[in-house]
Amino acid sequence: MDNPKRREFLIAATALGVAVGATAHAQAQTYGNPDLPPEGALNAAKNPATHDTVIGPQNPTLADQFPSSSSPPATDVDTLPMFWASFNNAHKRIQNGGWARQVTQADFAISTTISGVNMHLSAGGIRELHWHLTAEWSIMTRGRCRITTIDTEGRASVDDVEAGDLWYFPAGLPHSLQGLGPEGCEFVLAFDDGAQSENNTLLLSEFMAHIPPDILAKNFNVPVDAFKTIPLNSKWIFQGQEPGTLAADRAAAHVVPGAAPVIFHLSRSSPRHSTTGGTIQIADSQNFPIAKTVAAALVTVRPGGLREIHWHPNADEWQYWMQGQGRMTIFDNGPKATTMDFNAGDVGYVKKSQGALHREYRDRRPRLSRDISCGSLRGGITLELADARAAGPRRTTFEHSRVDDHSFSRRRTGRHAGLTLIATDLPSFVAGNTAGLWLANS
């Protein structure tokens, strides 16, 4: 005998199966919309209340700077650790003679290999003679500065640097900095350890104040009273008299030939590569030999530019955004993909092997890449998505990407037609047998 209740259950189950099938079909993954459940405001267009309304407290001025966070693309999925920081909201330590602000791992957890400091010295302002447990790399962003240091043989170097120039001090070597007229100077420092702080350097004033007077006198073979007026507290940054000529300071410091150059005039160097898409200027261990732990690429990309999708298998990447605006998307296993907006004065960080793409530049951006593999800049490697896709038989690559080789062939030919800027064999990113840095116009 037919069971009415069982018949009703079968009908309901069939209807439910049809509904589930229809829903799955309606939400099927598509190109540019790859996830289930679907991600992003695009997939909530019919219900704007889910994404257009912020009910709680908010700061519109701040939110407007990060449109990719409030309305991420549909290709973003899950969440990555914060890879954005900024000098713009970093605490500024001010003393008579200058100021400094920093972004270290204490505030920017992801940045394990590099910390950064933004510093200003007035004309005559002095950053006290000091040294670190880490190496110091720097790029001048404004004005002029006189730097003084000694090498491991005790030979002094005194040099003047200007906007666009670099310096590099190996760990443990003492150095001092002084702003020159008329406007002083501003620069960004990078230490090759994310935990290094500008506030925990070894200072000459503190060292001398904590040496017994008789020992200090014996060390320099002078009377004890010669040191009775030394400062008992750190000076850090202080106002001094504007220095005289470079030649006079070099003579006073007994500068002799032979010391390894600690500066590199990036501002005067010819671009390693230049096309209608932009330019690349490089400072690495080949043309700046003393820089053993940090390499730099100053990249200028014209409006609408795209840094080709890439990753570094053995080096983290620290970025300082000097001018313009842009967006960066980071990809990691999971999958996880997060897009973030950047402006002048911001800092970005990409862990090794994480995929990265940068787009919609309006001006230029320098990038620092620190080699953590072997202490030599030639150990840094960049791999491009296009090269990874092309690495294998056509049949195999087609089975991976489901894109015919003819489509990729047309694109690669277009690169040489001026649609893309190609820069190959950059020692700071290349181990000798890999592709180099690529910039592509969209």
Active-site residue, selected from the candidate residues 198, 308, 317, 384: 198
CB 437 within 8 A of CB 386: no
Active-site residue, selected from the candidate residues 136, 308, 317, 384: 136
pLDDT at 360: 53
CA distances from 15 to 3, 11, 287, 315, 326 (A): 19, 6, 72, 55, 49
pLDDT at 399: 61
Number of Cβ atoms within 10 Å of the Cβ of 412: 12
176: tokens are 């001092």
Catalytic-residue membership of 132:
yes
CB 75 within 8 A of CB 337: yes
Closest by CA position to 191, among listed 171, 163, 217? 171
Name 84's Cβ contacts closer than 8 Å, sequence gap at least 6. 340, 342, 346, 347, 348
Catalytic-residue membership of 360:
no
Largest Cα separation within the chain, whole Å, is 119
Closest by CA position to 275, among listed 30, 439, 387, 430? 439
Give every residue of the chain whose pLDDT is below 70, as ranges. 1-28, 51-52, 276-277, 302, 305, 307, 358-442
399: tokens are 């089975």
Catalytic-residue membership of 39:
no
Active-site residue, selected from the candidate residues 144, 175, 378, 415: 175
pLDDT at 442: 26
Contacts of 37-44 with C-beta under 8 Å, sequence gap 24+, read 38/74, 39/72, 39/74, 39/75, 39/76, 39/77, 40/71, 40/72, 40/73, 40/74, 40/75, 40/76, 41/71, 41/72, 42/73, 42/74, 43/74
Tell me the percentage of the chain whose pLDDT exceeds 70: 72
Contacts of 253-259 with C-beta under 8 Å, sequence gap 24+, read 253/148, 253/156, 253/158, 254/156, 255/155, 255/156, 255/157, 255/158, 256/155, 256/156, 258/153, 258/155, 259/150, 259/151, 259/153, 259/155, 259/156, 259/157
Name 384's Cβ contacts closer than 8 Å, sequence gap at least 6. 308, 309, 310, 435, 438
Number of Cβ atoms within 10 Å of the Cβ of 246: 14
Active-site residue, selected from the candidate residues 101, 120, 132, 358: 132
Active-site residue, selected from the candidate residues 39, 120, 128, 130: 130
pLDDT at 140: 95
For residue 41, the number of C-alpha atoms closer than 13 Å in the C-beta half-sphere is: 12
Task: DSSP for 140-167, please give it.
Answer: EEEEEEEEEEE-TT--EEEEEEETT-EE
pLDDT at 392: 55
Q: What is the pTM of this model?
A: 0.81
Closest by CA position to 273, among listed 422, 416, 58? 422
pLDDT at 303: 72
Report which DSSP code applies to 418. I
pLDDT at 368: 41
Give the alpha-carbon dihedral of 420, 425, 429, 433, to 10 degrees. Answer: 110
Closest by CA position to 166, among listed 49, 79, 291? 291
* Helix (H) / strand (E) containing 403: none
pLDDT at 260: 87
pLDDT at 212: 95
Catalytic-residue membership of 198:
yes
Active-site residue, selected from the candidate residues 101, 120, 127, 312: 127
